[in-house]
Amino acid sequence: MTPQKVLPRKIWEGPALLGESPLWDYRTKFLYWVDIENCKLYRQKEDGSDYSSIDLPAPAGSIALWHDGGLVAALGQGLFHIEPEQSLVTAIASELSGADCLMNDGKADRSGNFVFGAKHLKESDPVAGCWRYQSGHITPLEQKFIVFNGPAFSPEGDRIYFADSPSQRIMTASYNPKDGMITEPEVFVQLSGKDGYPDGMTVDSEGCLWNAQWDGWAITRYRPDGTIDQKIDMPVQRPTSLCFGGEDLKTLFVTSASTRLSPQELVENPDAGALFKLDLHVAGLPEKTIIN
């Protein structure tokens, strides 16, 4: 793909404290996203119509499409089903992590398993777990993290990307839907300095990885070999996550955060916590529904 000049457009003012996990529902043509710190789930059509929100009983770190409608959410210390139309939240497994951790990022793999992880609340110790929901069973993975972010999967589903954000590293490993990670994770990209910290990510139809860079004022597209294909400046200091959506899956939706910014940073960053869209020439991949 030839790099294009892309201008982010604000489509929701917010501000969210910690906007995260944008998710395009191809079944209903709704975009969903969460505000972790305000315990909110939002949705709207691509044009901004049919906007609504519901209160959640705990912070939701990530959401995915559920097989028979609604969503599955890594929420609080566990995994829950959400039926947005009825504002109904039902526990699948309410106590997976310890009280010193909170659920964070997650994504459906290409076979409809939900891979999700947690973050240590003090963001100091690698004690946060990671799990895989597969056909009604939840399996803990061996790796431990300070803050688990991502994950994303190659178009063929044979490779996983994820980040332990405080290390400024994006990691990758071979993956299969039956066993999860089947090789030791290795460094895919090492960020440094003003690059910020790798946060949410997604993979497009050409196999390139898009990453939101917390405190980096940017999102970056990486080729499968880890080299930079394109870097897009964002009007916010803390872009948090991104997903493809729209009828042709060529719209990139980007969430952002306003939490823990100083008064001066907020002056320099007036759109912090808003939701953005970018029109691209490359398409994403449709999200898989989580199978039960």
Q: Using CB atoms within 10 A of its CB, is residue 211 exposed (0-12), middle (13-18) or buried (19+)?
A: buried
Distances (CA, A) of 92 to 79, 137, 220: 5, 10, 35
DSSP state of 208: P
Residue 38 assigned ligand-binding role: no
As a whole number of angstroms, the distance between CA 171 and CA 162 comes to 5
245, 242, 167, 247: which is closest to 209 by C-alpha?
242
Residue 20 assigned ligand-binding role: yes
Whether residue 225 lies in the annotated active site? no
Q: Using CB atoms within 10 A of its CB, is residue 95 exposed (0-12), middle (13-18) or buried (19+)?
A: exposed
The catalytic position among 35, 164, 195, 199 is: 199
The two counts, helices (H) then strands (E), for the chain are: 1, 26
Token pair for 41:
């789930």
Residue 292 assigned ligand-binding role: no
Residue 199 assigned ligand-binding role: yes
94, 77, 89, 90: which is closest to 40 by C-alpha?
89
229, 214, 143: which is closest to 181 by C-alpha?
143
Q: Which residues carry a binding-site annotation?
A: 20, 104, 149, 199
Give catalytic residue positions: 199
Q: Which residues carry a binding-site annotation for a divalent metal cation?
A: 20, 149, 199
Q: Which residues carry a binding-site annotation for substrate?
A: 104
